[in-house]
Structure 1
Amino acid sequence: MSNAKRYGAELLGTLLLVFFGVGSAIAARVEGGVVVVALAFGFVLLVLVYLLGPISGCHVNPAVTLGALLTGRISSVGAIGYWIAQFVGATIGALLLWILVEVGGVKDQSGGLGTNGYGANINLGGTFLLEIVLTFLLVLVVLTVTSRVEQSVIAGVAIGIAIAVCHLVGVALDGTSVNPARSFGPALFEGGTALSQLWVFIVAPLIGGVLAALVLRFVLGPGWRPAMQSRSQGHA
C-alpha cells in the first residue's frame, strides 16, 4: 500500500468524522442532544474503521497516531504524514459545516460550530484532566483491539462504543474532543474563544495518547510485540 493512499485515507476519514460527528452537534436538538452526538461519533467511527482500516489503520486522530508511533506501529515520517492529512481533513470537514451554517441556512444549535470549550460547566483544570482520561480510554481501546488478530472482526464495534462513551461523559462539559484535529477544524472557522482555548484540546489528548501507549504493555503482557504487518502498514 502506497503512502499516498494511506495519507488520502486519513484525510478522507478525518473529514468524514468531523462532518458527521461535529455536524450532529450543530444539528442536534437541545433535548437528547448528548445522546445524538455520542451515537453519531460512535457510528461514523465504526463505519470508518471497517472502510479505511485495511488502508491506513483508520487513525483519523493525532492522539491515536502518537500512540501508534510510541508502540512501534508507524515510523516518525509516516506519523508526520498522518498528522498533516488529519488536520487538513478536519479543516475541510469544518469548512463544509461552516458553509452549511453561513450559506446553507442551517441553524447552529451548538452556538459555536460544534467547537470544544470550557468555562460554563467545567474549568480549565477540569477540562485538562477530563480530556486526558477520555483520550486515554479511546487510544488504549484502539491500540489493544487492533493488536489482537482474533478481535479484528469486532474492532470497529469496540472503538465505536469507546468514542460514544467518551462523548456521553464529555459533551455536556466541554463538547468532548479526544482528537486534536477534530477540535482544530471547527475552532479555525469559529475563532474567538474557541481558538484561544484550542491548545488545551491539542495538548491534553496527546498526553492521553502517550499514557495509553505506556500502559499498553501491561494490558497485553510483557511478551507483546507489534505485528510486522501493523509495523509496515502503519495500522493503529
Structure 2
Amino acid sequence: MLKKFSAELVGTLVLVLFGCGAAVLGPEPFDQLAVSLAFGFAIVAMAYGIGPVSGCHVNPAVSLGAFVAGRMPAKTMLVYWLAQFAGALVGAFILSLIAKTGTANLGQNGWGLGFLGEYPLAAALIFEVVMTAIFVIVILGVTGDKGHGPFAGTAIGLTLAVIHIVGIQVTGVSVNPARSFGPAVLAGGQALSQLWLFLVAPAVGAALGALLFRFGVLVADDET
C-alpha cells in the first residue's frame, strides 16, 4: 500500500505541476490549447509511469468511481485520496516557488465575474458534473476486462485534453477535487471560497458515471 500511496502522490503532483504550470508559466497571451494538452499529456505520461503500481487514478473522483463501480475497497480509496490531495498540494507549492506571482496565480479553478469566461454558478456546476461523469465512464470502460490495456493511458489523456479544450473558459476545468484543492489552499481568497463546488460536483459526476457500470448498463454482455 505504501507503493500505491507514493505513486498516487507523485502522479498527482506531476499533474498539477504540468497542467497548472502550463497555465501559469506558459506563453502570453493565455494559450488554452497548450494548457489542455499539458493536462492530457501529463495523464498519459503518468499512466505509463505509475499505472503498473497504482492504476494512476491521480484524482479522488476517479477513485470514488472505482469504489462505486465495485473495483476498489473503501480502505484503499481513502489511502488514494490522502495521497492525491497531498500530492496536489505539494505540486502547487512547487509551482508557487517557480512562478513570478507566487501563490497569487496557481491555475486555480473558479467561476463568475472576473474569472475567464465569467460563466455563472449553474453552468460551472453542470459542466463539472457532466464532464466528470464522462471522464469516469471513459476510464472505467478502457480499464475494464474488455478494455484496451496498452492504449488506455492514451485514451484517458486525450479525453482529459478534450474536456479542457471545451471547458477551460467555464471553470478552468477541475473534474478532479485534488487538482482544485492544491492551488486553492495556497491561493486562498475566491479560489478557496469556491472550492466546495470542485469537491462536490466531480464527486457527484463520478458516482453517476460509475453507477452505469455498477448496474451493468455499460458492461459488455460477456462481462456480466
> Which TM-score applies when normalising by structure 1?
0.88
> Is the counterpart of residue 192 in structure 1 residue 189 in structure 2?
yes
Contact conserved, 2:104 with 2:187, CA < 8 A, in 1? no
Give the aligned partner of residue 228 of structure 1: none
CA displacement at 1:221 relative to structure 2: 3.5
- Distance (whole Å) between structure 2 residues aligned to residue 171 and residue 138 of structure 1: 15
CA displacement at 1:30 relative to structure 2: 4.1
List alignment gaps of at least 5 residues for structure 1: 226-236
Of 101, 104, 116, the match for 2:109: 116
Identity of aligned residues (%): 45
Higher relative contact order (CA 8 A, sep 6+): 1
Counterparts of 1:212-227 in structure 2, within 5 Å, are: 212-216=209-213, 217-221=216-220, 224=223
Counterpart residue type for residue 91 of structure 1: L
- Distance (whole Å) between structure 1 residues aligned to residue 15 and residue 145 of structure 2: 25
Give the aligned partner of residue 159 of structure 1: 156
- Going from structure 1 to structure 2, the CA distance change for 1:150 and 1:205 (only over 3 Å counts) comes to closer
Give the aligned partner of residue 94 of structure 1: 92
Give the aligned partner of residue 58 of structure 2: 60
Give deviations 1:26-49, integer Å, cap 9, x for gaps.
022344611001000011100111
Give the aligned partner of residue 139 of structure 1: 136
Counterpart residue type for residue 48 of structure 1: M
Give the aligned partner of residue 7 of structure 2: 9
- Going from structure 1 to structure 2, the CA distance change for 1:56 and 1:162 (only over 3 Å counts) comes to same
CA displacement at 1:78 relative to structure 2: 0.5
> Which TM-score applies when normalising by structure 2?
0.92
Say what the alpha-carbon RMSD is for the aligned residues.
1.7
Give deviations 1:80-114, integer Å, cap 9, x for gaps.
0000000000000001011112xxxx358x96310
CA displacement at 1:137 relative to structure 2: 1.1
Contact conserved, 1:27 with 1:107, CA < 8 A, in 2? no
List alignment gaps of at least 5 residues for structure 2: none
Q: Which runs of 4+ in 1 moved over 3 A?
A: 221-225
Counterpart residue type for residue 219 of structure 1: L
Give the aligned partner of residue 82 of structure 1: 80
- Going from structure 1 to structure 2, the CA distance change for 1:152 and 1:31 (only over 3 Å counts) comes to same
Give the aligned partner of residue 36 of structure 2: 38
- Going from structure 1 to structure 2, the CA distance change for 1:94 and 1:32 (only over 3 Å counts) comes to closer
